Amino acid sequence: MIAHSTFFYGTGHLTVQQAIAIGTGLQKGDLSQETIARIEQSQRHVQEMTEAGRTVYGVTTGFGILANKKISEADAALLQYKILQSHSVGVGNPIPEEVAKIMLITKVHALAQGFSGVQLQTIQRIIWHIQNDVIPVVPEKGSVGASGDLAPLAHLFLPLIGLGEVFYKGNKYKSAEILNQFDLQSIPLGPKEGLALINGTQFILSFAVKAVQRMHNCLEAADIIGAMSLEALTGTKAPFDERLHGLRPFKGNLLVAQRLRLLLQQSDIMQSHVDCGRVQDPYSLRCMPQVHGASRNAWLHLKELTEIELNAVTDNPVVFGAEDTISGGNFHGQPLALPLDYACFAAAEIGNISDRRCYLLLEGKWGLPMLLMNDVGLNSGFMIPQYTTAALVTENKTLCFPSSADSIPTSLGQEDHVSMGSISGRKVNRVIDNLEYILAIELLSACQAIEFRRPLKSSALLEFAHGFVREHVSFAEEDRIFAEDINAIKHIISDFSFVEKVNGFAEEKGVGLNKGFEAFGL
């Protein structure tokens, strides 16, 4: 449980867990006096360079291919207003409010480090949006993931100048309506502010934050559900032996093997077939440490790079002093685009192996009834839910083309290599959407199958998991609308309650499922 403490933007080290905690109200984000002084100093630097007539990209020049167009001091502020208007070209459905809110949080943390030259009141207004849950409407499409997430960030900050739309208390409003309701005025942007607001990777980053959180939950669930399927299929735990995995010590593999050993310990079902004569289990049971573990490694890579980006300055130009600015490429999304695509494949593979276990549960082998129902023929049993996993797995495969492998020139060739990381970020979350359903169907099937092993019991942890599912979905004696069951179980996976409940019970029993693997936690 995260304490209700204050995180100070621009100074503290922001983690994925803290970004989510601020977004959900479990933690407050604010500015320290030290940070305020740094922000004000940076803004003075920009004011000085403007008054001195120095040529600085985006401050006294146009943008992109228009970098050689000189802008007068008188028009410097108007230029920043216009950049928010001209770059608001996003299309498609709005992104989830929680993602847009994380965009606000991550942008404040980047700006508050004092290298962007924005006004204090601008940052304070963004914090006001966060604290009052007045969340800008941001279209999902339009960013190529370089020069910053220009279009989505432009939409994100239109409300600062009284334009665009916001979500508030479940409804969508014109930004001006909400500003009037709170008796607030729009912000008069100063030199460089519009550029500072739209230069950055916060769209990619915020989808990465959600992917880290959601994929972690799916990985935790997959181990528990896979163990339940193994029990139902009377598989062996021998392939999870610590000695075996010590010979190929990938960290993710070691963790998953440890978790499976602990999840299966003291199981009556496991003990009942020790001398059954079966030599090997199918790969989807036997190779869970190798497959789930490889996806764990991909997740850890994404988490580590996401937390670097969470604390980075991705503005351009970066202001080091009144006469010291650097126009570089910190806004380029490639550092996250690649690991997001890697995580996309890794999430899809968890779905692939889960679908294979669903299929095994239906075959009618090793003492289970075909299609997991005694009276089939009149009943189709659990045949058709596996059609859904097959469809979702195939859809995920089509989503595995790496967006970061593509690039297309923009700004008349000035911006001639782009990351497409914005698409990577959205896409991995679509794969996770499907994965949650696939895991729900495996969990539904495994719980059904385990009941055919009665009166034998599984381990205490897996019996607890089974009991929690049965609070939401009952054993199926005959066909019914299984979509209702699937949705009910998908909900307890996607709201994190399934994993949280099992982990909580494990802690009560003194079982440290992830002990020694702190880096893999959230």
Q: Do the beta carbons of residue 154 and residue 79 sit within 8 Å?
A: no
Amino acid symbol at 496? F
* Distance separating alpha carbons of residues 15 and 344, to the nearest angstrom: 21
Instruction: Give the E-state strand segments of 19-144 in sequence order.
Output: 28-30, 91-94, 135-136, 139-141
Nearest to 401 by CA among 350, 348, 341, 339: 341
Half-sphere exposure of 515 (CA within 13 A, CB side): 10
**For the chain, the helix, strand and coil percentages under 3-state DSSP, each to the nearest 5:** 60, 5, 35
Which helix (DSSP H) or strand (DSSP E) does residue 100 occupy?
Answer: helix 97-111
Instruction: Give the E-state strand segments of 40-188 in sequence order.
Output: 91-94, 135-136, 139-141, 165-168, 171-174
* Long-range contact pairs involving 477-484 (C-beta distance under 8 Å, separation at least 24): 477/373, 478/373, 478/375, 478/379, 479/373, 479/379, 479/380, 479/381, 482/382, 482/384, 482/385, 482/444
Q: Which of 57, 81, 342, 437 is catalytic?
A: 57
DSSP string, 391-414: HHHHHHHHTTS-GGG----BGGGT
Which helix (DSSP H) or strand (DSSP E) does residue 239 occupy?
Answer: none
* Distance separating alpha carbons of residues 46 and 239, to the nearest angstrom: 62
* Cis peptide bond N-terminal to 152, omega within 30: no
Q: How many CB atoms lie within 10 A of CB 97?
A: 18
Is residue 57 annotated as part of the catalytic site, yes or no? yes
Nearest to 517 by CA among 307, 284, 216, 287: 216
Which helix (DSSP H) or strand (DSSP E) does residue 318 occupy?
Answer: strand 318-321
* Distance separating alpha carbons of residues 163 and 157, to the nearest angstrom: 9
* Distance separating alpha carbons of residues 480 and 34, to the nearest angstrom: 62
Q: How many CB atoms lie within 10 A of CB 364?
A: 13
Residues catalogued as catalytic: 57
